[in-house]
Structure 1
Amino acid sequence: MFKTLTTTLLTCSLTILCTLQTLAQTTYCNPMDIDYKYNFEQLNENISYRSGADPVIINHKGEYFLFVTISGGYWHSKDMLNWKYLTANRWPFEDMCAPAAVSVRDTLFLFQSTFESRPILYSVAPEKGIWEFYNRWTPRLPKDIGPWDPALFHDPDTDKWYMYWGSSNVYPIFGSELDYSKRLAFKGDYKAMFWLNQYDHGWERFGPNHSDPFKPFTEGAWMTKHKGKYYLQYGAPGTEYNVYANGTYVGDDPLGPFTYAPYNPVSYKPGGFATGAGHGNTFQDNYGNYWNTGTTWIGLNWGMERRIVMYPAGFDKDGQMFANTRFGDFPHKMTTKTWTGKGDEQFTGWMLLSYKKPVTASSTMDTMAAAKITDENPRTFWAAKQNKPRESLTIDLGGEQEVKAVQVNYTDYKSNIFDNKPEKVYTQFKILTSKDGKKWESAADLSNEPKRDRPVAYIELAKPVKARYVRYEHIYVASPVLAVSEFRIFGNGFGKAPTTPKSFTAVRQKDARNVDLKWEKVPVATGYNVLWGIAPDKLYQTYQFWHDEPNAFELRALNVGVPYYFRIEAFNENGVSGMSEVVGIK
């Protein structure tokens, strides 16, 4: 009896400890820290990797539900920080690609991408995984049109229903009204909403940094109604590039006509670690704040290997839609109130401490060197000789810094995992810190938490730690090879922030979709943010550069016939400089 009581008390203590640690987490960091799933895409090439794309987050009765391409289920959260994976009593006969979801009154509706007859599901208890068939929806569409990448929209002011869809570099985004009296069958004909126009819209051009002449793709429709205007959003130009983004057309009616927004793209993150922000959705949290989700690119095992991101978003006083990707893959505070402006106050100010810092590893497989875990590139990685406990990575920050959070990004290298059994697929590790490299203290220990898979594990430390050395100590990962693409450390140094870059210029080319940017480097900078937009007070776009990259860049994302304005700032471990003067071009 005493042994049983002791075991019970120990279990309760660990549960309370884990609960307190969870409650203490107040920040998040992109890519999102969820248990991404191994999926059927890997069967095509017999390669094994975790992935997630095409996110839809729905606020349903004050709680949040996340649906992701081919994940075998979905996620539920009450705070947008802690996400619990759920499976359903009913699920399509094959897994869902690019699902659509909408909350209407007490019901959550769910529909998958399809070219054939598929049902719309509904649930009044999605937090319990209980779903029912709403209909046996049969599209009356020609071959190849879909509805692929669908979006369901309910207009609360008219009580009318609509569907939008499209995923193609041939066809446009389509739309149609649905007939609620006939279980959401088409009401009348569907029609084209708009096509891509890469000849006038620089950001819609295909390839890395919009450099490929291949015809671009549009996909990922989503509709948001704001102050009587209808914002029909879409992803372009292709998911497997750093410039994957979300744009919008605006209209006075759910089926248009729609006008191209001259400030596009809305959500754009071509630089930094988590690049790409396209094909997501826009939703409001419980405080009325808007968020924009998207797909960030990994592309190591296959071009469609991806992760999920979310950014503060909104509409300014003129109705311009925006998403804030400035420092978008650095830690941000989770919202607890209605924010002002464009959500800049959600940035914690915790800077990246680990960029290109020296690393030592307990062992190294072949040429997959430890230095690759600090290069801010998810497609390079370190691999240990063996996947065994106590393998380690140690980063020397070069001096004592205040460490506040870490992010561990795993790589699926030569993985042989083709299921998601929780007793097998989970991750565990420890984070240790030291001031001298000799005496080590524990900063985080995932073996004290319930087992779960965290291929993008973000750990906010319970309290800041002053340290020069930070160590990842391995415990368990399911893959046969222990591989880490990035071990990112966040906090603040004790030195000075960089000065504002000088001689910043922006010269528009004869091809008005392009502009040449140039600036003087700041010696103590880690990197730079170029901010731009269609007015001096609307600099909603950000392109991040590293200090060791060239200080001249051809930005190929502009819209023809639209004037632009630019500023630049520098950042390092200690903070962010002031902004340069605004530079305008016509």
Structure 2
Amino acid sequence: MNKPAFKVTIFLAICLIITGISCSRVPEKSEKFTVQITDKPLTYCNPINLSVGSERARRAGEPIVTLYKDDYYLFVTGGRGYWYSDNMRDWTYVSAPNFPGGVLSVAAKGETLYACSMNQKNVYKCIGDPKEGNWEQTGTFDSDRYGDANMFFDDDGRLYMYYGWSQIMPFKVVELDPNTFKEIGEPKICFFGDYKEHGFERRRAEDVIFPYFNHREYFPEEYPWIEGPWVLKHNG
């Protein structure tokens, strides 16, 4: 036998011996694996466990999280209720029969929470502690065109409404009276969709939503569908 073949034979023999020893060692008892959850975790991921009474929430689209008096309040599209938490891990459901429901916008002005829905023109405010679920109508918008509305109260008390959900129309903003919720001035264009500059805005014929858009050409002048504007104040 030549030297290379001899070395290969010795190597294979050693591997077989090691494998046999490893297989013969069976642990007497498997160790338990425990997942540690810190009380104040720094990161979170989906899904989170949400319940409505004794049942699990079936739908939680278009979530809004609002920090109010050191608690997080979670609002989602759908039923007349919401959740609160002090750690973003454990959530308590609040039934609110007079809450607007639908596709929501929620904003705080001073000590009061306000809410509206693109499914109606009414504005609601929370009476007392939001954990009690008491809301009442406090105003009415001039328009019902505020699709995917986002109310924004600035630090100076002024109220702005950002809105838009379309593949043709842009996001817009209009100032509202913070007491009557009526428009002050004319709506201003923020921006249109821009698939050439924004990689996350994809253009596909399947993006059309309404049935009357089906079975027709997707015209070049149409933009990707943009919706759900969300405003954060930065260095303002």
TM-score range, shorter chain: 0.5 to 0.7
Q: Which residue of 1 aligns with 2:161?
A: 163
Query: Are residues 1:31 and 2:46 paired?
Result: yes
Of the candidates 108, 116, 125, which is equivalent to residue 121 of structure 1? 125
Of the candidates 76, 98, 104, which is equivalent to residue 109 of structure 2? 104
For the Cα contact (< 8 Å) 2:148–2:164, is it kept in 1?
A: yes
Deviation at 1:188, TM superposition (A): 1.6
Deviation at 1:112, TM superposition (A): 0.9
Structure 2 SS opposite 1:197:
coil
Query: What CA deviation, in whole Å up to 9, does each residue of 1:359-387 have, x standing for no partner?
Result: xxxxxxxxxxxxxxxxxxxxxxxxxxxxx
Change in CA separation of 1:120 and 1:131 when aligned onto 2, cut-off 3 Å: closer
Structure 1 SS opposite 2:225:
coil
For the Cα contact (< 8 Å) 1:73–1:86, is it kept in 2?
A: yes
In 1, Cα distance between the equivalents of 2:76 and 2:195? Answer: 28
Q: Which residue of 1 aligns with 2:189?
A: 192
Q: What TM-score does the superposition give when structure 2 sets the normalisation length?
A: 0.68
Query: Are residues 1:152 and 2:151 paired?
Result: yes
In 1, Cα distance between the equivalents of 2:92 and 2:51? Answer: 11
Q: Which residue of 1 aligns with 2:34?
A: none
Deviation at 1:200, TM superposition (A): 2.4
The structure richer in helix per residue is 2
In 1, Cα distance between the equivalents of 2:51 and 2:183? Answer: 34
Matched positions, count: 181
Matched AA of 1:163: M
By relative contact order (CA 8 Å, sep 6+), the higher-ranking structure is 1
After TM superposition, list the pairs within 5 Å mapping 1:231-380 onto structure 2.
Answer: none
Query: What CA deviation, in whole Å up to 9, does each residue of 1:453-504 have, x standing for no partner?
Result: xxxxxxxxxxxxxxxxxxxxxxxxxxxxxxxxxxxxxxxxxxxxxxxxxxxx
Query: What CA deviation, in whole Å up to 9, does each residue of 1:417-452 have, x standing for no partner?
Result: xxxxxxxxxxxxxxxxxxxxxxxxxxxxxxxxxxxx
Structure 1 SS opposite 2:67:
strand
Query: Are residues 1:205 and 2:209 paired?
Result: no
Deviation at 1:56, TM superposition (A): 0.8
Deviation at 1:55, TM superposition (A): 1.1
Query: What CA deviation, in whole Å up to 9, does each residue of 1:2-28 have, x standing for no partner?
Result: xxxxxxxxxxxxxxxxxxxxx965446
Query: Are residues 1:68 and 2:68 paired?
Result: no
Change in CA separation of 1:82 and 1:174 when aligned onto 2, cut-off 3 Å: same
Structure 2 SS opposite 1:201:
coil
Query: What CA deviation, in whole Å up to 9, does each residue of 1:248-281 have, x standing for no partner?
Result: xxxxxxxxxxxxxxxxxxxxxxxxxxxxxxxxxx
Structure 2 SS opposite 1:193:
strand
Deviation at 1:82, TM superposition (A): 0.8
For the Cα contact (< 8 Å) 1:52–1:71, is it kept in 2?
A: no
Q: Which residue of 1 aligns with 2:141?
A: 138
In 2, Cα distance between the equivalents of 1:74 and 1:177? Answer: 27
Structure 1 SS opposite 2:131:
helix
Query: What CA deviation, in whole Å up to 9, does each residue of 1:260-313 have, x standing for no partner?
Result: xxxxxxxxxxxxxxxxxxxxxxxxxxxxxxxxxxxxxxxxxxxxxxxxxxxxxx
Deviation at 1:80, TM superposition (A): 1.5
Q: Which residue of 1 aligns with 2:11?
A: none
For the Cα contact (< 8 Å) 1:108–1:124, is it kept in 2?
A: no
Q: Which residue of 2 aligns with 1:292?
A: none
* Uncovered stretches (5+) of structure 2, i.e. residues with no partner: 1-36, 208-217
Q: Which residue of 1 aligns with 2:224?
A: 216
Query: What CA deviation, in whole Å up to 9, does each residue of 1:41-91 have, x standing for no partner?
Result: xxxxxxxx9221111111111111111111331111122121111111412
Structure 2 SS opposite 1:100:
strand
In 1, Cα distance between the equivalents of 2:79 and 2:203? Answer: 27
For the pair shown, the structure with the greater C-alpha radius of gyration is 2
Deviation at 1:29, TM superposition (A): 4.2
Query: What CA deviation, in whole Å up to 9, does each residue of 1:545-582 have, x standing for no partner?
Result: xxxxxxxxxxxxxxxxxxxxxxxxxxxxxxxxxxxxxx
Query: What CA deviation, in whole Å up to 9, does each residue of 1:497-520 have, x standing for no partner?
Result: xxxxxxxxxxxxxxxxxxxxxxxx
Structure 2 SS opposite 1:121:
strand
Structure 2 SS opposite 1:190:
strand
Change in CA separation of 1:185 and 1:191 when aligned onto 2, cut-off 3 Å: same
Query: Are residues 1:53 and 2:61 paired?
Result: yes
Deviation at 1:36, TM superposition (A): 6.1
In 2, Cα distance between the equivalents of 1:63 and 1:100? Answer: 18
In 2, Cα distance between the equivalents of 1:218 and 1:134? Answer: 30
Aligned Cα root-mean-square deviation (Å): 2.7
Query: What CA deviation, in whole Å up to 9, does each residue of 1:190-247 have, x standing for no partner?
Result: 122110111222221246xx9x99842111111111211xxxxxxxxxxxxxxxxxxx
Q: What TM-score does the superposition give when structure 1 sets the normalisation length?
A: 0.29
Matched AA of 1:96: G
Q: Which residue of 1 aligns with 2:212?
A: none
In 2, Cα distance between the equivalents of 1:220 and 1:167? Answer: 7
For the Cα contact (< 8 Å) 1:147–1:166, is it kept in 2?
A: yes
Q: Which residue of 2 aligns with 1:180?
A: 178
In 1, Cα distance between the equivalents of 2:177 and 2:44? Answer: 41
Structure 2 SS opposite 1:127:
helix
For the Cα contact (< 8 Å) 2:106–2:150, is it kept in 1?
A: yes
Structure 2 SS opposite 1:227:
coil
Change in CA separation of 1:29 and 1:179 when aligned onto 2, cut-off 3 Å: closer
For the Cα contact (< 8 Å) 1:67–1:75, is it kept in 2?
A: yes
Identity across matched positions, percent: 28
